[in-house]
Amino acid sequence: MYRVWIGSAVLAIILMSGLNQRSHADDQADIAALAAKIKAVDRFGKGHLEASSAVAELSNLPPSSIPIILQEMRGCSPLAANWFRAAIESSSQSDPKAVPTSVLKDFLAETANDPYARSLAFDLIVEQTPGQGPGLIETFLLDPCMELRFMAVEQKMQEVAKLVEEDKSELATERYQILLEAARHPDQINAIAKQLDSLGQPVDLNQHYGFLMGWSLIGPFDNRNKVGFDTVYPPEEEVNLSVELEGKEGAKVEWQPFTSEEDFGLVDLNEAVGKNMGAVVYAVTEFTVEQETPAEIRIGSPNGNKVWVNGELVISNHVYHAGNAIDQFAGAITLKPGANQIILKICQNEQTDSWAQEWQFQARVTDATGKKISASK
């Protein structure tokens, strides 16, 4: 009889364990459902309640779930990426080494994976084994994730600097030139160019960045009391380089060609059209490509600015003297085959501070990573 009891008990345990056992596919489906709630987070706090609950659930999953969560991050918004990150970091806290490093490395190596997820995978690997960082960073030199590529260029720059210290100038020059092609961040590009210059290999940065040097300018138009930023002056409706227009205070203004000879393609409007506070200038150029090309127009200016490409407004910032940098503002565009018209509107206000007298811009056309796109003519 006791055998019957034992047999029944064993059978019950087997059945119960079968009922409770969840397959990998079930886990994956559950995680996907939670991930969907996080991905639904949107502007203005939309989806917060559901996402908060999902983050709490994901945070409590064992670290073995992390590779699935990383996969589920694909295509997530920058907002959602942070919610995912918090969940994964909390999950990993119970045992940071629970996920095999090889799994994370494989995920990182696949450049088609989500860039936020790959960046996080890298951080998890380094947390597990800090010594693995430099070796991995070395592989990011041409990585499509700019955050990872920045680290690689930074690390390589330090290595090449040592070559310079060891008087291996030829090798250092060669390595710096490779880095120059790989670098996308202006801080790094400028630093590498400076090193190459000191090694006797000056870099034409205007050419390297692809700054637009040749412009037609017209102005000044009125921007006293900042009225000009939203005022539609004739160049916004039609560009006819041969017509004379009525400018600020009724003065006649006409288009004039201007070619920048400054570093970083700087167009100094105080020099080009004369210092004028409370004023607007338009700058026009054409950018020709042979085939349709996804691109970005990137500008830097301490002044209020608008940019149109082929008549479409792609950048607009009514901000004065609050920062100025290469690639400060960017707008996604699609270049059409043939000539593409680029119009900039640069607005100077009436601040009297010594640091508020700059009236200038610089502009270039790049791919999504910041590499210049060359015009075909």
Partner 1 sequence: MAVSGPRHRRHGKEDFSIKIIQFDEKRLQFETAFLRKAISNMNSFQMNRTLIIVAAAFMMVDALRPNVHASDWLEFLGNNHQANANGAQLPKSLNQDKNVAWRVELPARGPAGPIIVGNRIIVTSSGGEGRQQDRMHVNCYSTETGEELWHHQFWATGRPFSHPTSANAAPTPASDGERVYAFFSSNDLVCLDLNGKMLWFRGLTYDYPKAANDVGMSSSPTIVGDVVVVQIENQGDSFVAGLNKLTGETVWRQPRLQSAAWASPIAYQVNGEPHVLLLGRDGATAYRARDGEIAFKMEGAGSTVSSAVNLGQQLLLPFDGLTLIDPSQISEGQPKVIWKSERLRPSNTSPVIDGTTAYLLSSRGVLTSCDLTDGSRGFQFRVDGSYWSTPVVANGYLYAFSQDGTGKVVKLGDEPEVVSEIAMEETILASPAVNETGLFVRTENALWKLTAE
Contact with partner 1 (CB under 8 A) among 52, 155, 173, 293: 52
* Whole-number Å distance between alpha carbons of 148 and 184: 11
| 122 burial type by CB count under 10 A (0-12 exposed, 13-18 middle, 19+ buried) | buried
Contact with partner 1 (CB under 8 A) among 22, 162, 275, 318: 318
- Is residue 277 near partner 1 by the rule CB under 8 A? no
* Whole-number Å distance between alpha carbons of 216 and 234: 15
| 201 burial type by CB count under 10 A (0-12 exposed, 13-18 middle, 19+ buried) | middle
**Min CB(92)–partner 1 separation in Å:** 8
**Min CB(136)–partner 1 separation in Å:** 13
Stretch that binds partner 1, among 44-52, 163-171, 198-206, 361-369 (CB under 8 A): 44-52
Stretch that binds partner 1, among 66-74, 83-91, 276-284, 340-348 (CB under 8 A): 83-91
- Backbone φ and ψ for 43, nearest 5 degrees, come out as -55, 155
Interface residues for partner 1 in 323-342 (CB under 8 A)?
323-325, 328
Torsion angle, CA of 136/142/143/144, rounded to 10 degrees? 180
Widest distance between CA atoms in the chain: 113
Locate tokens 């694909």: which residue? 74
Interface residues for partner 1 in 162-201 (CB under 8 A)?
185-188
- Is residue 301 near partner 1 by the rule CB under 8 A? no
- Is residue 85 near partner 1 by the rule CB under 8 A? yes
Helices (H) and strands (E) in the chain, counts: 13, 12
- Is residue 59 near partner 1 by the rule CB under 8 A? yes
Stretch that binds partner 1, among 22-30, 81-89, 164-172, 269-277 (CB under 8 A): 81-89
- Is residue 87 near partner 1 by the rule CB under 8 A? yes
- Is residue 373 near partner 1 by the rule CB under 8 A? no
**92 or 216, CB closer to partner 1?**
92
- Is residue 75 near partner 1 by the rule CB under 8 A? no
85-116 CB burial, b ≥16 within 10 A, e <16: bebbbebbeeeeeebeeeebeebbeeeebbbb
Peptide bond into 234 cis (omega under 30): no
By CB under 8 A, the count of residues binding partner 1 is: 46
* Whole-number Å distance between alpha carbons of 188 and 178: 13
**Min CB(102)–partner 1 separation in Å:** 19
Q: What is the DSSP letter of 211?
A: B
**Min CB(52)–partner 1 separation in Å:** 6
Structure tokens at 261: 């000879």
- Is residue 250 near partner 1 by the rule CB under 8 A? no
- Is residue 5 near partner 1 by the rule CB under 8 A? no
**SS3 (DSSP) at 56:** helix
* Whole-number Å distance between alpha carbons of 143 and 70: 18
**Continuous H helices in the chain:** 2-20, 24-39, 48-59, 66-72, 78-93, 101-109, 115-128, 133-137, 146-165, 169-182, 186-198, 205-209, 269-272
Site string for partner 1, 126-155 (x = CB under 8 A): xx--x---------------xx--x-----
- Is residue 79 near partner 1 by the rule CB under 8 A? yes
Is 360:281 a contact under the CB 8 Å cutoff?
no
**78 or 250, CB closer to partner 1?**
78
**285 or 301, CB closer to partner 1?**
301
**Min CB(196)–partner 1 separation in Å:** 18
**293 or 317, CB closer to partner 1?**
317
Q: Which residues bind partner 1 (CB under 8 A)?
A: 43-45, 48-49, 51-52, 55-56, 59, 78-79, 81-83, 85-87, 89-90, 92-94, 96, 116, 119, 123, 126-127, 130, 146-147, 150, 185-188, 317-320, 322-325, 328
